[in-house]
Amino acid sequence: MEMSSTSIRGLLRGNILVLTVSRIIWSLSSAIVMPYLSLYILNLGGSKPIIGLVNALGNLAGIFLYPIGGYIADKAGRARLVGFSTLLYASSFLFFALAPDWRWVAAGLIYQQLALFYMPALNAIMADSIPVGVRGRILSLMIAIPGAVRIIAPYIGGLLIAVYTLRPAMRIGYLISFVLGVLVAAMRLRYLEETIEGEGIGRDILGIFKAAYAEIAVSLRWIGSHMRGYTALAIILILVNSIVMPFWVVYATEVIGLTPYQWGVILLIGGVVRTVMSLIAGSLVDRIGAKTCMLIAFAVAAPSMILFTRSRGFLDASLIYVALSLAGVFLWIATSVLLADTIPRAIRGRIMAALGQGVGIGIAGGGYASGFLLFIPMTLGSYVSGYIYQLNPTYPWIIQSITLTAALILAVWLIKEPERAEA
């Protein structure tokens, strides 16, 4: 179904408008500090293996409450859960801002992941609110518009570090994130509209936990029948993404010889490309299908990962990161559309609690890959990442390149698009 630009603009209202604006506000803050977290851990007394351990502990914490979030989202509604839990998530930034050593960062990440149990509800309300046939284009707008704002944020982070040094700059950035997070929570509580008729869950907390975990078996059976191939591919990708993800800035500064400021400029360039290309990618996903766009992403990303380890300076790293940003946009939008088109509305919260909203290639930008089936490989990958990097700094990117090549081949057989998209 082809729609005019006027129709697309008309769809950016209600929940879609609220979620887009809230992403814009987050983009003003989170992207200032996130690219430099690994350097912050090192500055607070951590080591390369500690970087992996801290990320692993955060990922592991997410396993326990995600089924609860998905269950509540389907049974009691999504909007209020998202609003109140966003407030909890915002408070996690105080751990990072006040951290005297890396252990506080670890505690902050654990608390942050526990608070993120509302992500299945957020993903479900987003999928519920986007009409079939324009999901690629609307999702691309929801990436492009906040992306246009967050383009400058990593550059500002690098500039703050250059002016104030690393630790004071990161503390300032996390305090900004806390204040803006409270604003986002207030906006979501006030303006998000419910998308399902909830039947209620009562006040028996223990009963809610039992019912939520009992539903896991139902979710797994549905996934096994309908999305087995996608799930296998997502687990493999998340495992390897977690190996490479924490060490981009470390490799850039320690091996290539860039400053944090220069890395911020590269992220700025990548953000511009991601913002512009997300609009094109969304249209292509709607036109040629999610599977074809996934194959394009793998074909671009696989050689680019190896080429990053051959970078000798700012220009090399910039060009390669641009290619990776392009691939990341295509893969995130394609997998997000595939999930929304395949999962029925009535069970969307519970299935997205298992599978998340989409998957990326292991670079910043796009969205947050989450789901209790993904947290175990994510935890394993994060835990071994520091040891792999310490063994040889190029190994994470070599492993990622091999994995993406295998994913390109496997996706031809494993990925199945539904004959009729779910509303």
pLDDT at 44: 95
Residue 412 pLDDT: 93
**pLDDT score at 369:** 63
**Has residue 14 got a pLDDT over 50?**
yes
Higher model confidence: residue 62 or residue 380? Answer: 380
Span 2-21, average pLDDT: 65
The confidence score (pLDDT) of residue 231 equals 94
Give me the mean pLDDT over the 220-237 stretch: 92
pLDDT score recorded for residue 376: 86
Question: Which of these ranges, 20-24, 68-72, 299-303, has the smallest mean pLDDT?
Answer: 68-72
Q: 289: Cβ–Cβ under 8 A, 6 or more apart, which residues?
A: 417
- Comparing 155 with 365, the larger pLDDT belongs to 155
Query: Which tops the pLDDT comparison, 233 or 151?
Result: 233
Most confident range (mean pLDDT) of 11-25, 61-75, 109-123 is: 109-123
**Average pLDDT value for residue range 224-242:** 93
- What would the pLDDT profile of 92-143 be if each residue is shown by its tens digit? 999 999 999 999 999 999 998 888 888 878 877 877 877 777 777 777 777 7
pLDDT at 346: 81
Please provide the distance, in angstroms rounded to a whole number, between the alpha carbons at the two ends of the chain: 14
What mean pLDDT do residues 238-252 have?
Answer: 93
Mean pLDDT of 25-44: 85
The predicted pLDDT at position 111 comes to 92
pLDDT(273) > 70? yes
Q: Distance between CA 251 and CA 214 in Å, rounded? A: 43
CA pair distance 387, 208, nearest whole angstrom: 39
Name the pLDDT band for 64 (thresholds 50, 70, 90).
confident
**Digit-coded pLDDT (tens) for 162-213:** 899 999 999 999 999 999 999 999 999 999 888 777 666 656 677 777 877 8
Write down the mean pLDDT value for the chain: 85
Domain spans of the chain? 11-414
Residues in the chain: 423
Q: Mean pLDDT, to the nearest integer, of 47-76? A: 82
- At residue 74 the predicted structure's pLDDT band, cuts being 50, 70 and 90, is confident
- In this predicted structure, what is the pLDDT of residue 321? 95
Take residue 255 and report the two structure tokens written for it: 């091996």
User: Does the pLDDT value for residue 251 go beyond 90?
Assistant: yes
| pLDDT exceeds 50 at position 4 | no
User: CA–CA separation, 231 vs 229, rounded Å?
Assistant: 5
- Phi–psi pair at 38, nearest 5 degrees: -65, -40
Of 10-14, 148-152, 418-422, give the lowest mean pLDDT range. Answer: 10-14
Number of Cα atoms under 13 Å in the Cβ half of residue 382: 23
Mean pLDDT of 215-239: 91
Q: Has residue 2 got a pLDDT over 50? A: no
Which of the residue ranges 6-15, 34-43, 64-73, 214-223 would you say has the lowest mean pLDDT? Answer: 6-15
For residues 341 and 418, the answer to whether their CB atoms sit within 8 Å is: yes
pTM, entire model = 0.76
Residue 306 has pLDDT above 80, yes or no: yes
As a CATH number, domain 11-414 is 1.20.1250.20
Residue 261 in this model has a pLDDT that exceeds 80:
yes
- The answer to whether 24 touches 146, Cβ cutoff 8 Å, is yes
- 3-state SS of the chain? CCCCHHHHHHHCCHHHHHHHHHHHHHHCCHHHHHHHHHHHHHHCCCCHHHHHHHHHHHHHHHHHHHHHHHHHHHHCCCHHHHHHHHHHHHHCHHHHHCCCCHHHHHHHHHHHHHHHHHHHHHHHHHHHHCCCCCHHHHHHHHHHHHHHHHCCHHHHHHHHHHHHCHHHHHHHHHHHHHHHHHHHHHHHHHHCCCCCCCCCCCCCHHHHHHHHHHHHHHHHHHHHHHCHHHHHHHHHHHHHHHHHHHHHHHHHHHHHCCCHHHHHHHHHHHHHHHHHHHHHHHHHHHHHCHHHHHHHHHHHHHHHHHHHCCCCCHHHHHHHHHHHHHHHHHHHHHHHHHHHHHCCHHHHHHHHHHHCCCCCCCCCCCCCCCCHHHHHHHHHHHHHHHHHHHHCCCHHHHHHHHHHHHHHHHHHHHCCCCCCCCC
